[in-house]
Structure 1
Amino acid sequence: MIRIEPREAPSRRLTIGVPVASALLALLLAAIPLTFAGANIVEAYQEMAKGIFGSMFAFTEMLTRATPLIFTGLAATLAFRAKLWNIGAEGQLYLGAMAAVIVGTGWVDGPPMLLIPMILIAGALAGALGMAGPAYLKTRFGADEVVTTLLLNFIILIFIQMMLEGPLKDPMGMGWPQSSPVVDNALLPQILPRMRLHYGLVIALVAAVIAHIMLSKSVWGLKLRAVGENAAAALHAGIGVKRTLMSAALISGALAGLAGVSEVAGLRGYLTTDLSPGYGYTGIVVAMLAGLSPLGVVIAALFIASVFVGADTMSRAMGVSSYLADLVVSMSLICVLIGGFIARFTIKMTPSNKKASATDSGAA
């Protein structure tokens, strides 16, 4: 008879080793579709590595791709720690990007020291607003936030399309549905000359450190973890569960909004409907791969970004479909979920009742 029992406390080695093993296993499993595609496995992985570490440009491109994933991964991490399933980071990202465009395209005139903080604050507030509604519906009426945040993504994207065809449309854009460009004083500076890497990465790393300190060292973090572990027990202990959930929701939405700001003000310079290739959804994979650890999110985001950038290079060099990157990310999530189950539970074999009864009868 098979019996599944929860572990008393997963070891640190198991907690760290499961995500690492899951990522490595996903890369190994990717060899299967590569083989069916007729590619040389060793050469394919060499091309992937070259696409990430082959040059300074390649490496900075990977860091650029990782920047929004750190923000959305942190957004998912803080919400999931409170058992608040925010699936709406994609929409919140677009709201943050739209707020950055509204503020940064000439509505306010000033030096970079004024405009950059303003667009960051505006983007964070817009992202938080995008999560405030679903959080209120959950805390007030018990509405399922998975459904409300997911459906809100589509509503926000349609709203963005309407704005880009109307008030925000660039009159000099030759009819393309894009916003007016962000003024130079509102753009995030580049970290390296002639590279696309910008200071959004620095802001994302600072946000990860602050999230780690808040989650592990502050009273708010203790309340958040208590609510996530057992909301009823937390309420009995005097913790304001609804207030804690709402604060987690607003911070989560704000972080997702900052992802949109970093893409508009740091990379694109203007808003389009294809600003994000799914960073909000991929952030969930990043959070799960990181084991809902803010510092682990940085490492997981670098891994996922490496897969995407490396797969793009491999696709061009070997004629393999670039959708392989999505496959590796999906397999990583599956491996993480399985690994998380192994880390939390142990499987034991026990003798069946019939065998036990026969043994007892024989003994009698």
Structure 2
Amino acid sequence: MRFERREHSSTMLNILAPIGAIAAALIIAGMLIAIAGANVFEAYALIVKGAFGSRLGFSEMLTRATPLILTGLAAAVAFRARLWNIGAEGQFYLGALAVAAFGMIPAIASLPAPLAIFLCLCAGAIAGMVLLLLPLGLRLKFGVDEVVTSLLLNFVAILFVSMMVEGAMKDPLAFGWPQSVPVPDNTLLPKLMERTRLHAGLLYALVAAIVVWWLQARTVFGLRARAAGLSPRAAAFAGVPLGRTLITVACLSGGLAGLAGAIEVMGVKGYVSTDLSPSYGYSGIIIAMLANLNPIGVIGAALFSAVMFVGADSMSRALGIPSYIADVTVALSLLTMLVALFLTQYRIRT
């Protein structure tokens, strides 16, 4: 038995790959649920019911999906150009902190809400850009691997956020709890559903996915970024300005991750704390891979992950199974997706 590279990878095969990967992950996770002594079909039914069976569950699922869409887009944009952005978690936190810091400016509170929201979103996006441009600069100037530098900057960013929320930006009315001062009311995103946490950030995330798809599919920048990812040497030989293209990619990728942090503060929390993100930045990598780096596919992958995370809480309470089964299922989805992507490029010959 040997593996033979396919001459062409069909569109149908690329569509079926993520579906097959998710199905395989659910089957493997179902075995773990069965070992735990629960009915697999009942467990999955409870997960779906927990995410879609009530107004609260549905709104929470969409709220959870919003930052996942943005961090998934951040990873997808970078990976397609072979810029390995592993620092979305730090960019998320720095974007959130930038919003809180920007909101402390007295003039912001007196601005009209649309303008204040726009400026705060820009501040969060710019903060994320800066944090990714640092490792990219080291790569372009000294050949330093951005996987290591962007990953390590996550810890630097989170420690910096911790220092600020426990020091200069600490809320004096938080009874000692380490959190920043709340952002002004005119910077909070409007709610999409009354008496829920679902906010307009979901619409921004969906628009961002469409814009990123358009940039990649219909612009010269998208063509250059794709060429840089397929073969940097060939792209440079064809006249693609690699440095400038990667800087633009870094600005877009880091900006999306920073925007995710800004939206989380302005739409859900209202302040910054060190537990703001349940690993949204790292989950974005899984989302991007499940979507096969397709911006529109990122929406579906983010919704799948959000359904698992929200629904697993309901299933856990009903059956007594740890809710960590959601993390296991999403992680298994990444592994099975890697296998599926390999099989879209190679066929098995005997």
TM-score per shorter chain, which class? Answer: over 0.9
Give the percent of matched residue pairs that are identical in Structure 1 and Structure 2.
52
Question: Aligned partners of 1:317 and 1:4: how far apart in 2?
Answer: 45
Structure 1 length-normalised TM:
0.94
Secondary structure of residue in 1 paired with 2:194: coil
- Per the TM alignment, residue 262 of structure 1 is displaced from its structure 2 partner at its CA by 1.1
- Per the TM alignment, residue 5 of structure 1 is displaced from its structure 2 partner at its CA by 2.5
Matched, 1:346 2:347: yes
- Per the TM alignment, residue 180 of structure 1 is displaced from its structure 2 partner at its CA by 0.7
Contact 1:94–1:157 (CA under 8 A) maintained in structure 2: yes
Partner of 1:277: 278
Question: Aligned partners of 1:187 and 1:8: how far apart in 2?
Answer: 51
Secondary structure of residue in 2 paired with 1:30: helix
Secondary structure of residue in 1 paired with 2:348: strand
Unaligned runs of 5+ in 1: 350-364
Question: Aligned partners of 1:247 and 1:106: how far apart in 2?
Answer: 29
Contact 1:51–1:314 (CA under 8 A) maintained in structure 2: yes
RMSD of equivalent CA atoms: 0.9
Secondary structure of residue in 1 paired with 2:191: coil
Partner of 1:201: 202
CA spacing shift, 1:237–1:211, aligned 2, 3 Å: same
Partner of 1:234: 235
Partner of 1:355: none
Q: How many residues in Structure 1 have an aligned counterpart in Structure 2?
A: 348
Question: Aligned partners of 2:30 and 2:141: how far apart in 1?
Answer: 48
Alignment deviations for residues 251-293 of structure 1 (CA, whole Å, 9 cap, x no partner): 1000000110111000011100000000000000000000000
Question: Aligned partners of 1:240 and 1:3: how far apart in 2?
Answer: 39
Contact 1:112–1:185 (CA under 8 A) maintained in structure 2: yes
- Per the TM alignment, residue 104 of structure 1 is displaced from its structure 2 partner at its CA by 2.1
Unaligned runs of 5+ in 2: none
Question: Aligned partners of 1:133 and 1:235: how far apart in 2?
Answer: 23
Partner of 1:303: 304
Alignment deviations for residues 206-259 of structure 1 (CA, whole Å, 9 cap, x no partner): 000000000000000000000100000000011111111111111100000011
Alignment deviations for residues 98-153 of structure 1 (CA, whole Å, 9 cap, x no partner): 01111124542212021100100000000000101001111111111110000000
Question: Aligned partners of 1:67 and 1:327: how far apart in 2?
Answer: 21
Question: Aligned partners of 1:295 and 1:169: how far apart in 2?
Answer: 39
Partner of 2:180: 179
Amino acid at match of 2:126: L
Amino acid at match of 1:76: A
Larger Rg: 1
Question: Aligned partners of 1:7 and 1:105: how far apart in 2?
Answer: 57
Question: Aligned partners of 2:41 and 2:344: how far apart in 1?
Answer: 31
Question: Aligned partners of 2:250 and 2:194: how far apart in 1?
Answer: 37
Contact 1:106–1:182 (CA under 8 A) maintained in structure 2: no
Contact 1:10–1:343 (CA under 8 A) maintained in structure 2: yes
Question: Aligned partners of 1:106 and 1:246: how far apart in 2?
Answer: 30
- Runs of 4+ in structure 1 over 6 Å off: none
Partner of 2:167: 166
Secondary structure of residue in 1 paired with 2:240: coil
- Per the TM alignment, residue 7 of structure 1 is displaced from its structure 2 partner at its CA by 1.4
Question: Aligned partners of 1:255 and 1:158: how far apart in 2?
Answer: 21
Question: Aligned partners of 1:104 and 1:66: how far apart in 2?
Answer: 25
Partner of 1:10: 9
Amino acid at match of 2:240: I
Question: Aligned partners of 2:270 and 2:336: how far apart in 1?
Answer: 37
Amino acid at match of 2:342: F
Amino acid at match of 2:251: L
Contact 1:48–1:313 (CA under 8 A) maintained in structure 2: yes
Amino acid at match of 1:295: I
Partner of 2:50: 51
Alignment deviations for residues 312-358 of structure 1 (CA, whole Å, 9 cap, x no partner): 11111111101111100110000000000000112223xxxxxxxxx
